[in-house]
Structure formats: C-alpha cells, structure tokens
C-alpha cells in the first residue's frame, strides 16, 4: 500500500511537472506570435489548471498578455495588458512553433498615456503645455497671450471619449492660482481644449472608456471575434 502511494505521488509530480513545462513552452510560442502590435515580446500567462486539458482541446479559457507598446499615430501608449478569452491554438502548432494566427472570442485591454506623452501629442498649437492630475480632472498649464497680456494659464479639464479620440475640455481657468474674470475666461474659451487620436490600439481594440489617474490617462478597450497574427 505504501509503495502504491509513493508511485502515485511520483506520477502526480511528473504530471504536474509535464503540465508546467508544456504551459511554459506554449506561453513562449504564443508570446512570439503576439509581438506584432507591441514594441517587445510580451509576457503571456495561460490561466486555468491543469493546462494540458486545455491544450489537448486546443482552446484556452483565459490568457493574459502584458507588455509595452510603441507610438500609435503619434502618441505613445504604454503599460499595455489584455485578457484574452476563448483563445484557440492547437497544441501541435503551439509546441511545434507553427502558430501563425491566434483566434480569440473576446479581448479586454488596458493601457496608459502618460501626461507627458499626451501633452507632447496634443501640444502642436500650445507650446509649453504641461499636464498634471487634479483629482478626477486634469490640470493643463501653458503660457498664453491673452488680451495683450502674457500669462501662465491653468485649466481644470474633464477627460472624455469621442470615438477613438480622447478629449480634454477646459471647465474653468486660473492665473496665479486665482480664478480669472469673465472677460479673460471668454478670451480663453477653447484654447486649452485638447484632442488626441488613438485610432490604432494593439490587437484592434476599440476604446470604451478613459479615466484620469496619477500617471496619466488610463484607457480601456474591447474587441470580439479577433484573429491575431504577425
């Protein structure tokens, strides 16, 4: 009886080890395939245990991808991560390095545009623009000429989404930390409203939400019935 128990424990250990090795190989193969939209090979984690039952079926419940991205139409997007659900990759292709396409039922992605990168992309008409967090708003600051005066103006702005464009729309203005008069506010109308196009997110994700954070504008997006390829 004791020998049988030892044999069973050894077999379980071997199976767990084989499961983990196969998972690591598959993660590496899938990561190679998913580099096209990213600036470096992403980190891939296959969820669920045991792995081999998913691999034999060629269908994975959930795969998490994370990595950096390069510039997207003039704006730099970083800290990308995505949850892929219903991923279909035959085990023979994954282990043999023959993964040419990765069909996915649903993707949910997240990314970040830092305030510095957003300002760089939006500052064509606003030299010296700087952005910083201000609670659930964004503070946009720039030197402007207003009614014949050179002023350093700050605007508290709301972040909203219009299609795949991110808008920062000024709600109030300050100069030297104090609210401006109605006359100056009228002269400033629209001058610190900013718009950045993010029309080419990784894996053809479509933007669904934007939020302001401590580091920048946080993006969320989704896609359905996607086929990821090099």
State the chain's mean pLDDT as an integer.
79
Distance (Å, whole) CA 127 – CA 120: 9
CA-wise closest residue to 211 among 203, 201, 221: 221
Percent residues over pLDDT 90 in the chain? 34
CB-based contacts of 229: which residues, under 8 Å, 6+ apart? 33, 36, 100, 101, 102
Higher pLDDT, 47 or 75: 75
pLDDT at 205 over 60: yes
Give rounded-to-5 percent helix, strand, coil for the chain.
30, 45, 25
pLDDT at 180 over 60: yes
Residue 109: beta bridge partners?
82, 221
pLDDT, residue 169, reads 96
pLDDT, residue 39, reads 66
Percent residues over pLDDT 70 in the chain? 73
pLDDT at 123 over 80: no
pLDDT, residue 201, reads 79
Higher pLDDT, 174 or 11: 174
Give the model confidence (pLDDT) of 29-46 as tens digits.
666 666 656 766 778 777
**Is 0.85 topped by the overall pTM?**
no
Higher pLDDT, 24 or 5: 24
Q: Which two tokens stand for residue 28?
A: 């590496």
pLDDT at 104 over 50: yes
pLDDT at 16 over 50: no
pLDDT at 7 over 60: no
- Output the CA angle 120-204-96, nearest 5 degrees: 120
pLDDT, residue 134, reads 95
């Amino acid at each position: 009886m004791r020998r049988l128990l030892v044999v069973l424990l050894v077999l379980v250990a071997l199976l767990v080890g084989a499961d983990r090795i196969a998972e690591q190989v598959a993660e590496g193969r899938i990561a190679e395939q998913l580099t096209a939209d990213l600036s470096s090979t992403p980190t891939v984690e296959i969820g669920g245990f045991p792995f081999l039952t998913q691999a034999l079926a060629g269908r994975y419940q959930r795969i998490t991808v994370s990595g950096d991205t390069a510039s997207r139409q003039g704006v730099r997007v970083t800290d990308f991560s995505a949850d892929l659900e219903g991923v279909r990759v035959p085990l023979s292709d994954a282990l043999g390095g023959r993964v040419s396409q990765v069909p996915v039922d649903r993707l949910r992605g997240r990314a970040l545009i830092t305030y510095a990168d957003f300002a760089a992309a939006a500052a064509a008409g606003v030299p010296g623009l700087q952005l910083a967090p201000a609670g659930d708003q964004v503070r946009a600051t720039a030197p402007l000429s207003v009614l014949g005066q050179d002023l350093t103006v700050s605007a508290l702005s709301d972040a909203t989404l219009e299609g795949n464009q991110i808008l920062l729309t000024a709600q109030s203005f300050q100069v030297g930390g104090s609210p401006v008069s109605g006359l100056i506010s009228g002269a400033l109308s629209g001058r610190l409203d900013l718009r950045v196009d993010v029309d080419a997110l990784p894996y053809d994700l479509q933007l669904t939400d934007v939020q302001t954070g401590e580091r920048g504008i946080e993006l969320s997006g989704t896609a359905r019935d996607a086929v990821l390829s090099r």
